[in-house]
């Protein structure tokens, strides 16, 4: 793809999109930003990037660009800075978190406990602020959240300190028409779901199911077998996603926990591994993995570096086009930037020859040519760059 000929301004998407980007500042105030895709005002000229990945010819000449400044539509101490947010209608939900309790007799003694609080922010009138909503049945820290059929499902959030089997409902659902939470059946092997912050999950829309992986048994960077369960929201029953003979599915060790994007029968994740942005995909039919790196060090240049501790945001736009969001830091000015990469992942599986490629050396799949370019199976369609109003850490993002 020749980006000089294509140009950002001719980005073809199925409409315009708005992304809600949630973050927390150093005072743990939750800040919400709105990102438009495409956003011509935030797109640097293609020659701004001296990047072989973009096939640019003039790699030495520098081009100036002033990133578009980002200001929050909402800034508040009310919701806990929970790791997962979700959007139900016009309402942005913040669920659970950690609440601080100070001992009146000893001001220096602080205890943290899992919160039952739920807060909502109406994105059509964010100036009205966050409002309290019906509380959870159980306190949860960073519970996973997902919306299916107009209802909010929340699960996990107990970490390693989960109660003994049967004493706590691992999953509950909120029906906005009824205004209350309801406990749901626990998954199989419930007592083994300790460390539930390590699970992966997704909404399998075709079957009205929520896919959940059991936490891995191995630590570190080893391939591990994983059990995958599905919860049918209509029958309210759990099942193994694959037959027992197919159950031994290897999971990539570099994938971090979190919400996957299910497009058809393929799951897509984004995370930071090897200090680079990474895309992973798993074909549920073929039991096949694919992965690709986005070499940000070549895009950012020498003055910026990827802010690896902030995590990566990932949303689906249309077809096999996605928006990958990450933060960078200017090493000279200590400015904090947000990059939005619009990617085409239609060729992501082209480099995968067979199922045995799961165990190939990933470094061999991302070798550089003599000119420093990288053979990539992802296409960068557009890049948007923003300047944050302050230092923030990423929490979650979603399409509005």
Q: According to the per-residue pLDDT averaged within each range, which of 96-105, 153-162, 377-386 is highest?
A: 377-386
- CB-based burial of residue 166 (10 Å sphere; 0-12 exposed, 13-18 middle, 19+ buried)? exposed
Cα–Cα nearest to 170, from 126, 119, 215: 215
Residue 400 has pLDDT above 60, yes or no: yes
For residue 350, give Cα distances in angstroms to 255, 288, 361, 363: 20, 12, 16, 16
107, two tokens? 């001001």
CB atoms within 10 A of CB 51: 23
pLDDT, tens digit, 9 for 90 and up, residues 352-361: 744 444 444 4
The mean per-residue pLDDT over the stretch 52-77 comes to: 73
Among 14-23, 177-186, 222-231, whose mean pLDDT is lowest?
Answer: 222-231
Q: According to the per-residue pLDDT averaged within each range, which of 241-245, 286-290, 375-379 is highest?
A: 286-290
**pLDDT band for position 345 (cuts 50, 70, 90):** very high
Report the first-to-last Cα separation within the chain, whole angstroms. 30
The mean per-residue pLDDT over the stretch 115-134 comes to: 96
**Contact at 8 Å (CB) between 118 and 133?**
yes
Identify which has the larger pLDDT, 213 or 135: 135
**pLDDT band for position 100 (cuts 50, 70, 90):** confident
- Element at 6 (helix H, strand E): helix 3-6
The mean per-residue pLDDT over the stretch 195-218 comes to: 79
Cα–Cα nearest to 343, from 389, 371, 376, 367: 376
Q: What's the CA gap between 59 and 50, in Å, rounded? A: 5
The mean per-residue pLDDT over the stretch 148-171 comes to: 78
The mean per-residue pLDDT over the stretch 372-388 comes to: 80
**Contact at 8 Å (CB) between 338 and 386?**
yes
Q: What is the pLDDT of residue 254?
A: 60
Order the strands of the 266-273 sheet from edge to edge: 261-263, 266-273, 276-283, 288-294
Q: What is the pLDDT of residue 368?
A: 47
Q: What is the DSSP letter of 162?
A: P
Ordered by where they begin, the domains of the chain are 23-399 (2.120.10)
Mean pLDDT of the chain: 81
**pLDDT band for position 166 (cuts 50, 70, 90):** low
Q: What's the CA gap between 351 and 375, in Å, rounded? A: 10
Q: What is the DSSP letter of 205?
A: G
Residue 252 has pLDDT above 80, yes or no: no
The partner residues of 95 in beta bridges, in order of sequence, read: 118
The partner residues of 280 in beta bridges, in order of sequence, read: 269, 291
Q: What's the CA gap between 250 and 247, in Å, rounded? A: 9
For residue 201, give Cα distances in angstroms to 66, 153, 156: 38, 12, 11
Residue 193 has pLDDT above 90, yes or no: no
pTM for the predicted model, two decimal places: 0.86
Q: What's the CA gap between 353 and 363, in Å, rounded? A: 16
The mean per-residue pLDDT over the stretch 15-37 comes to: 94
CA 175 remoteness from chain centre: 24
Residue with tokens 């309210």: 236
Q: What's the CA gap between 294 and 339, in Å, rounded? A: 12
For residue 292, give Cα distances in angstroms to 254, 279, 327, 348, 362: 12, 5, 19, 7, 9
The mean per-residue pLDDT over the stretch 303-321 comes to: 89
Residue 47 has pLDDT above 80, yes or no: no
The mean per-residue pLDDT over the stretch 321-343 comes to: 91
Residue 269 has pLDDT above 50, yes or no: yes
Q: What's the CA gap between 201 and 230, in Å, rounded? A: 9
Q: What's the CA gap between 292 and 278, in Å, rounded? A: 6
Q: 334: alpha, beta or left, given left = phi > 0 and alpha = psi -120 to 50?
A: left
Residue 249 has pLDDT above 70, yes or no: no
Identify which has the larger pLDDT, 138 or 253: 138
Identify which has the larger pLDDT, 154 or 99: 154
């Amino acid at each position: 793809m020749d980006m000089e000929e294509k140009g950002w301004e001719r980005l073809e998407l199925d409409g315009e999109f708005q992304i809600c980007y949630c973050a927390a500042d150093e005072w743990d105030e939750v800040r919400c930003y709105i990102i438009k895709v495409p956003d011509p005002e935030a797109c640097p000229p293609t020659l701004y990037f001296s990047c072989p990945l973009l096939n640019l010819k003039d790699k030495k000449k520098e081009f100036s660009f002033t990133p578009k400044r980002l200001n929050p539509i909402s800034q508040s101490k009310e919701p806990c800075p929970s790791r997962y947010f979700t959007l139900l209608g016009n309402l942005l939900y913040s669920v659970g978190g950690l609440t601080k309790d100070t001992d009146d007799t000893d001001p220096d003694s602080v205890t943290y406990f899992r919160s039952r609080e739920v807060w909502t922010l109406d994105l059509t009138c964010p100036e009205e602020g966050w409002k309290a909503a019906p509380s959870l049945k159980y306190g949860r820290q960073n519970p996973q959240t997902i919306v299916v059929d107009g209802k909010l499902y929340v699960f996990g959030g107990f970490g390693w300190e989960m109660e003994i089997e049967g004493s706590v409902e691992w999953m509950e659902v909120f029906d906005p028409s009824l205004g209350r939470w309801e406990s749901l059946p626990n998954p199989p092997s419930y007592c083994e779901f300790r460390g539930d912050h390590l699970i992966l999950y997704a909404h399998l829309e075709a079957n009205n199911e929520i896919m959940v992986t059991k936490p891995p048994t191995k630590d570190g960077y080893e391939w591990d077998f994983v059990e995958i369960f599905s919860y049918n929201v209509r029958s309210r029953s759990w099942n193994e996603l694959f037959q027992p003979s197919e159950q031994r599915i290897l999971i990539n060790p570099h994938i971090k926990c979190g919400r996957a994007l299910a497009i058809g029968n393929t799951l897509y994740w984004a995370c930071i591994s090897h200090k680079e942005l990474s895309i992973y995909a798993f074909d549920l039919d073929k039991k096949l993995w694919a992965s690709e790196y986005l070499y940000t060090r070549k895009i950012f240049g020498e003055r910026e570096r990827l802010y690896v501790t902030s995590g990566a945001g990932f949303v689906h736009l249309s077809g096999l086009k996605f928006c990958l969001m990450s933060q960078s830091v200017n090493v000279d000015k200590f400015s904090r930037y947000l990059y939005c990469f619009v990617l085409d992942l239609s060729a992501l599986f082209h480099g995968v020859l067979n199922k045995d490629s799961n165990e190939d050396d990933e470094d061999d799949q991302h070798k550089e040519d003599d000119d420093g370019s990288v053979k990539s199976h992802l296409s960068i369609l557009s890049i948007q760059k923003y300047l944050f109003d302050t230092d923030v850490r990423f929490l979650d993002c979603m399409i509005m």
